[in-house]
Structure 1
Amino acid sequence: MEEESVTSHLLPAQGRGRSFFISPGFFSRFWIESKALWKIAGAAIFSRLAIYAYNVITQAFVGHVGDLELAALSMVISVVVGFTSAIIIGMGTALGTLCGQAYGAQRQEILGIYMQRSWIILSSSTVALTPFYFFTTPILKLCGQPDDIAKLSGKVSLWCIPMLFCFVLFFTLNRFLQSQSKNFVTAWSSALGVVFNVLSCWLFVSKWSMGLEGALISLNVGWWTPVIVQYVYVTCGWCPDAWTGYSMEAFEDIWPFLKLSVASGVMIWLEIWYYRLLVLLTGNIKDVEVAVDSLSICLNINSWEMAIPLGFLASISVRVANELGAGRPEEAKFAVIVSVINSTIIGLVLLVLILALRSDLAQVFTDTIIIQKAVYKLLILLAFTILLNSIQPVLLGVAVGLGWQAFVAYINIGCYYIIGVPLGMILGYLFNFGVTGIWLGMICGTGVQTLALMFITWRVDWDMEAKNIENKLKKWSSVKPQNEKNNHGVANLEDGAVEQSR
Structure 2
Amino acid sequence: MGVETPLLTNNHSNHEDEKPVSYVKEFGHESKRLWKLAGPAIFTSICQYSLGALTQTFAGFVGELELAAVSVENSVIAGLAFGVMLGMGSALETLCGQAYGAGSIRMLGVYMQRSWVILLTTACLLVPIYVWSPPILEAIGETDEISEAAGKFALWMLPQLFAYALNFPIQKFLQAQRKVLVMAWISAVVLVIHTFFSWFLILKLGWGLTGAAITLNISWWLIVITQLLYIFITKSDGAWAGFSWLAFADLWGFVKLSLASAVMLCLEFWYLMILVVITGRLQNPLIPVDAISICMNIQGWDAMIALGFNAAISVRVSNELGAGNFKTAKFAVIVVSVTSVAIGVVCMSVVFATRDYFPYLFTSSEAVAVETTKLAVLLGITVLLNSLQPVLSGVAVGAGWQAIVAYINIGCYYIVGLPAGILLGFTFGFGAEGIWSGMIGGICLQTLILIVVTSITNWRREAEQAETRVKKWGGGSTGED
* TM-score of the aligned structures, taking structure 2 as reference length: 0.89
Contact 1:65 1:212 in 2 (8 A): no
Q: Tell me the residue number matched to 1:134.
A: 131
Contact 1:104 1:321 in 2 (8 A): yes
Contact 1:94 1:260 in 2 (8 A): yes
Q: Tell me the residue number matched to 2:96.
A: 99
- Pairing 1:182–2:179 present: yes
Q: 2:448 aligns with which of 446, 451, 460?
A: 451
Q: How does 1:32-111 map to 2 (within 5 A)?
A: 32-62=29-59, 68-111=65-108
Q: Tell me the residue number matched to 2:11.
A: 8
Post-superposition CA distance 1:399-451 (Å, at most 9, x none): 00011111111110000000111122223333333333322221111111011
**Structure 1 residue 290: deviation in Å?**
5.2
CA–CA distance in 1 between the matches of 2:348 and 2:67?
32
CA–CA distance in 2 between the matches of 1:323 and 1:284?
47
CA–CA distance in 2 between the matches of 1:311 and 1:223?
19
Q: Comparing 396-405 with 232-241, which one deviates more in the overlay?
A: 232-241
**1:106 partner SS:** coil
CA–CA distance in 2 between the matches of 1:95 and 1:478?
13
**Structure 1 residue 139: deviation in Å?**
2.5
- Pairing 1:410–2:407 present: yes
CA–CA distance in 1 between the matches of 2:163 and 2:231?
16
**Structure 1 residue 247: deviation in Å?**
0.6
Q: Comparing 353-362 with 315-324, which one deviates more in the overlay?
A: 353-362
Go from structure 1 to structure 2 and tell me whether the alpha carbon gap of 1:142 and 1:415 turns closer, same or farther (over 3 Å shift).
closer
CA–CA distance in 2 between the matches of 1:355 and 1:318?
33
Q: Tell me the residue number matched to 1:331.
A: 328
Q: Aligned partner of 1:435: which letter?
A: A
CA–CA distance in 2 between the matches of 1:209 and 1:364?
20
Q: Aligned partner of 1:121: which letter?
A: I
- Pairing 1:387–2:384 present: yes
Post-superposition CA distance 1:337-386 (Å, at most 9, x none): 00001001111222333344444556666687776665444333222222
CA–CA distance in 2 between the matches of 1:354 and 1:405?
32
- Pairing 1:124–2:121 present: yes
Contact 2:68 2:286 in 1 (8 A): no
Post-superposition CA distance 1:245-275 (Å, at most 9, x none): 1110111111111111011111111111111
- Pairing 1:243–2:243 present: no
CA–CA distance in 1 between the matches of 2:410 and 2:288?
26
**1:240 partner SS:** helix
Go from structure 1 to structure 2 and tell me whether the alpha carbon gap of 1:347 and 1:13 turns closer, same or farther (over 3 Å shift).
same
Contact 1:121 1:258 in 2 (8 A): yes
Q: Tell me the residue number matched to 2:318.
A: 321
CA–CA distance in 2 between the matches of 1:472 and 1:284?
46
Go from structure 1 to structure 2 and tell me whether the alpha carbon gap of 1:197 and 1:10 turns closer, same or farther (over 3 Å shift).
farther
Q: Tell me the residue number matched to 1:427.
A: 424
Contact 1:193 1:224 in 2 (8 A): no
Q: Tell me the residue number matched to 2:257.
A: 260
Q: Aligned partner of 1:8: which letter?
A: N
**1:308 partner SS:** helix
Q: 2:268 aligns with which of 245, 267, 271?
A: 271
In structure 1, the gaps of 5 or more residues are 17-22, 488-502
- Pairing 1:158–2:155 present: yes
- Pairing 1:398–2:395 present: yes
Q: Aligned partner of 1:341: which letter?
A: V
Q: Aligned partner of 1:33: which letter?
A: E
Q: Aligned partner of 2:74: which letter?
A: I
CA–CA distance in 1 between the matches of 2:208 and 2:367?
34
Go from structure 1 to structure 2 and tell me whether the alpha carbon gap of 1:117 and 1:448 turns closer, same or farther (over 3 Å shift).
same
Go from structure 1 to structure 2 and tell me whether the alpha carbon gap of 1:345 and 1:107 turns closer, same or farther (over 3 Å shift).
same
Contact 1:200 1:221 in 2 (8 A): no
Go from structure 1 to structure 2 and tell me whether the alpha carbon gap of 1:341 and 1:200 turns closer, same or farther (over 3 Å shift).
same
CA–CA distance in 2 between the matches of 1:129 and 1:363?
35
Go from structure 1 to structure 2 and tell me whether the alpha carbon gap of 1:474 and 1:439 turns closer, same or farther (over 3 Å shift).
closer
Q: Comparing 83-92 with 324-333, which one deviates more in the overlay?
A: 83-92
Contact 2:68 2:290 in 1 (8 A): no
**Structure 1 residue 166: deviation in Å?**
0.6
CA–CA distance in 2 between the matches of 1:358 and 1:203?
30
Q: Tell me the residue number matched to 1:462.
A: 459
Contact 2:351 2:376 in 1 (8 A): yes
CA–CA distance in 2 between the matches of 1:334 and 1:126?
38
Contact 1:420 1:446 in 2 (8 A): yes
Contact 1:87 1:265 in 2 (8 A): yes
Q: Aligned partner of 1:422: which letter?
A: P
Q: Aligned partner of 2:262: which letter?
A: G
Go from structure 1 to structure 2 and tell me whether the alpha carbon gap of 1:93 and 1:450 turns closer, same or farther (over 3 Å shift).
same
- Pairing 1:24–2:16 present: no
- Pairing 1:231–2:228 present: yes
CA–CA distance in 2 between the matches of 1:285 and 1:363?
23
CA–CA distance in 2 between the matches of 1:477 and 1:159?
40
Go from structure 1 to structure 2 and tell me whether the alpha carbon gap of 1:306 and 1:130 turns closer, same or farther (over 3 Å shift).
same
Contact 1:362 1:376 in 2 (8 A): yes
Q: Percent identity among equivalent residues?
A: 46
CA–CA distance in 2 between the matches of 1:262 and 1:47?
25
Q: Comparing 130-139 with 266-275, which one deviates more in the overlay?
A: 130-139
CA–CA distance in 2 between the matches of 1:291 and 1:205?
24
CA–CA distance in 1 between the matches of 2:212 and 2:334?
44
Q: Aligned partner of 1:37: which letter?
A: L
Post-superposition CA distance 1:72-116 (Å, at most 9, x none): 444323321111121111100001111000001111110000000
**Structure 1 residue 162: deviation in Å?**
1.3
**Structure 1 residue 313: deviation in Å?**
0.7
What is the number of equivalent residue pairs in this alignment?
A: 474
Contact 1:192 1:225 in 2 (8 A): no
Q: Which has the higher contact order (CA 8 A, sep 6+)?
A: 2
Q: Provide the aligned C-alpha RMSD in A.
A: 3.0
CA–CA distance in 1 between the matches of 2:274 and 2:467?
42
**Structure 1 residue 36: deviation in Å?**
1.4
Larger Rg: 1
Q: Tell me the residue number matched to 2:5.
A: none
Q: Comparing 407-416 with 463-472, which one deviates more in the overlay?
A: 463-472
**2:238 partner SS:** coil
Contact 1:6 1:36 in 2 (8 A): no
